Amino acid sequence: MSEKSPLTDNQAHDALLNALSQVKGQKGETVRAETSLRAAEQALTLLSLGLLMASEANSDGNKAIKDQTPS
């Protein structure tokens, strides 16, 4: 089995936007499902914007994530 290559910033941003497009506009049948979908939508939006900002600033930090530990 071949390993997948690590994603570039642009590829990671695209992946986050693709995931966002899967949940955005969907309605949950239950309160649990609706709450989870809205939380995922907000989290994916913040993560994608944070990645974009960090990439533009050439920084390894993503302000959408608290208490980051350096890798």
The model's pLDDT over 20-33, given as tens digits with 9 standing for 90+, comes to: 999 999 999 999 99
Cβ neighbours for 44, distance < 8 A, ≥ 6 positions apart: 16, 17, 19, 20, 23
Domain ranges of the chain: 10-56
- Residue 1's pLDDT is what? 59
- Residue 68's pLDDT is what? 67
Side chain identity at residue 60, one-letter code: D
